[in-house]
Amino acid sequence: MLRKTDSFWRALGIAVGLTLLAGVVASCGGGAPKLPSPGPLLPLETSTSMTQSTAVVSSLAATSTTAVSSGSSLATVDQNSASVTSSVGINVPAPLPLSGVGTANLAMFQSSGAAYTFSQFRSVESNNTGNNGYDDATLDPTTLKVVDLGPFYQGTPTVAVDLAISPAAISFAWPSDRGYSNLICDVPGAGSFNLDALCIRSQLRQMAVMAKLNDYTLSQAQSQLYNQLSSDSDPSLGSSVNQQQLNQVVDLSLDISNSIANIRVSGSSDSQFRYSVTIDTLDNLSSTLAAVKATFPSRAMVRIVVDPNVSLDQYQRAIDLAHSMSIEVMIELMDSQYMASYSLTSYQSRIDQILATLKDVDAWEVGNEVNGNWLGPDVGAKVAYAVNKAASLSSAPLYLTLYWQLGEDDAAHSIFNWVSSNLNSDEMAKISSVGISMYPQEAPLGASFFRVMTTLHSVYFPNQSLYIGELGYGGSGVTGSWWWGSPSVSDTSKAQVASSYLGLLLSLPYSVSSGPFWWYFTEEYATSPQLLASLHGWYR
């Protein structure tokens, strides 16, 4: 992780010890039962649900008229021969007819029913930080590649955007009562629309795919709210849909993810899943590993960041110590903050040295935050070298971590554009798992997590499992416009971030890898009991 500087931002202007830990873990249910040591971390086998996700991802951006049989036992969305069958009794909104390229005028309404002005919209989007918090983009709705960055301008009455493709999706930061999310909202093309309704419809369709992939039936309360929101999602400019319903749909999406995650972790013990944190320093290593073990009594993994200024012998001792405690180890070959200081030749030498020296490694992270704009030149070539070298010398699975941003920096470094332009399919075939590094203050995700991860899996990495490669909130060096859980950084807000994103990860049928690799674990475990409780709360 790079302690990001102001240059990251598009506008370039943003200005307990173990006793306590044991008590926290015990308070989460009296301690976890003793389980056998996990088996080896195996290469992923493509599952039926993974194959399904490839077939249904386009339904998130479906464009043709859809017949929905609400009276039957299944409500079916059929678009371009990809059939998405939702759970019992929900009325999935039909895609809107395409209206072609041109200008879309979008109205967004406050809970009072009054329309936002453009300046009011910008204030909310940016969390009152001005240009530094404008992160709007138009996207290809299937690939989520950025088509146009910063396209919003004064509209009638709120926002206007010129669309070069139809259908399109628009992306921007927006709050609910849980904090800021990235909203990805499908737009059929030119015309005048209620933006709240467009975003609600996109979220509802996302939930239908989520239910389908997980074979999940919504509860009675969830179905009732879903159907009410669906019936109220009139996208015409004069409709009364407003922020109240938009907030409800975001909450519902997160609640359904949470329900699916609970069923998944309670119903089976996936031997491939590892509960994981990051260790970015070897200081106080014994105490840190003891805290990991107390939080995750089995199936624990630590990602150890290799610092160029620390001898590799020390890292081997760290690996051996972790293994003596039945904790698996992923070695991060090089953190993103160091990449720019290495030429391609010196990078190759460093990778050779690490791979030749460190033994009994359970997994290798062969690239960290690789699409970050701070990594310097030759990143694609460096990643390819690390992948090929590690694959030739080790049978341990290879992990690759991308940096989540979709409008908070330039388009070339947005996650999907960068992947399309820089990663070679031959090398990617050797990767077992692909993850994203997330710092919600710097780039919100939240309610769009499922769509983003499903697209990442289905369009780009259909044979890989997905994981959260890095997560943090409010730590040293983290800046940004947006908040999640609570506007003020505290143990409570960190716990909310960790719990929310672990739940979102565990709701994915192809998240059989690891997460969340909390970056600040070493610095925070002794003083953040709620954070530890939230991490332990998902442990089974």
Same domain, yes or no: 337 and 477: yes
Same domain, yes or no: 293 and 426: yes
What pLDDT, on a 0 to 100 scale, did the predictor assign at position 60? 59
Same domain, yes or no: 248 and 300: no
Same domain, yes or no: 488 and 522: yes
What pLDDT, on a 0 to 100 scale, did the predictor assign at position 245? 97
Same domain, yes or no: 356 and 442: yes
Give the total number of structural domains in the chain: 2
DSSP letter for 363, please: E
Same domain, yes or no: 225 and 346: no
pLDDT in tens, 95-109: 999 999 999 999 999
pTM listed for this prediction = 0.88
Q: Could you say which of 215, 248, 263 is where a domain stops? A: 263
In a domain, 32, yes or no: no
In a domain, 6, yes or no: no
Same domain, yes or no: 256 and 335: no
In a domain, 203, yes or no: yes
In whole angstroms, give the CA distance from residue 78 to residue 205: 12
CATH of the domain at 280: 3.20.20.80
What pLDDT, on a 0 to 100 scale, did the predictor assign at position 419? 96
What pLDDT, on a 0 to 100 scale, did the predictor assign at position 442? 95
Q: Tell me the residue range of the domain where 484 lies.
A: 269-537
What pLDDT, on a 0 to 100 scale, did the predictor assign at position 2? 53
In a domain, 90, yes or no: no
Asked if residues 61 and 142 have their Cβ atoms less than 8 Å apart, the reply is yes
In a domain, 426, yes or no: yes
Where b means 16+ CB within 10 Å and e means fewer, 280-291 reads: bebeebeebbbb
What pLDDT, on a 0 to 100 scale, did the predictor assign at position 11? 35
Spans of the chain below 50 pLDDT: 3-56, 63-87
Same domain, yes or no: 217 and 239: yes
Same domain, yes or no: 293 and 238: no
In a domain, 88, yes or no: no
Q: Could you say which of 225, 240, 263 is where a domain stops? A: 263
What pLDDT, on a 0 to 100 scale, did the predictor assign at position 310? 97
The two three-digit tokens of residue 297, written as one number: 């009594």
Same domain, yes or no: 216 and 356: no
Q: Could you say which of 245, 263, 281 is where a domain stops? A: 263
| Strand ranges (E), 123-230 | 137-139, 146-149, 153-154, 159-163, 168-176, 179-187, 189-194
In a domain, 187, yes or no: yes
pLDDT in tens, 196-226: 999 999 999 999 999 999 999 999 999 999 9
Same domain, yes or no: 459 and 442: yes
Mean pLDDT across the chain: 86
Where b means 16+ CB within 10 Å and e means fewer, 24-57 reads: bbeebeeebeeeeebeebeebeeeeebebbeebb
Indicate the pairing of strand 300-305 with strand 274-279: parallel
In a domain, 64, yes or no: no
Same domain, yes or no: 192 and 293: no
**DSSP string covering 64-77:** S-----TTSS--EE
